[in-house]
Amino acid sequence: MTLGWILAASFAGGTLSAALAAFALFLRASWLPMLFESGPPHLAAGAILAGIFGFFVLEKLLLWRHCHTENCEVHDRRAVAR
């Protein structure tokens, strides 16, 4: 029963991601022209740059203390206590 829920959630998540990506690709061509026509161009450009910078910082924060080895100096509690 649990395996069924895991498979259903994985399939639903993948389907939802693909559908959302297709929707974004379909409408993306009209988003930027509408954004620049709706207000001052410098505000639109600032919002775009702020979004890019915000996601860049978010990615760096998530990867900052990420290790792939068992003997990691960052996450080793004995190394912190010394």
* This model's pTM is above 0.85: no
Is the pLDDT at 79 greater than 60? The verdict is no
- Residue 16 · residue 8 · CB < 8 Å: no
Stretch 51-55: mean pLDDT? 94
Report the C-alpha dihedral over residues 36, 60, 62, 47, rounded to 10 degrees.
Answer: -10
DSSP 67: -
Whole-number pLDDT of residue 57 = 94
Domain definitions of the chain by residue range = 1-31, 39-82
- Give per-residue burial for 38-60: e unless 16+ CB within 10 Å, then b: eeeeeebeeeeeeeeeeeeeeee
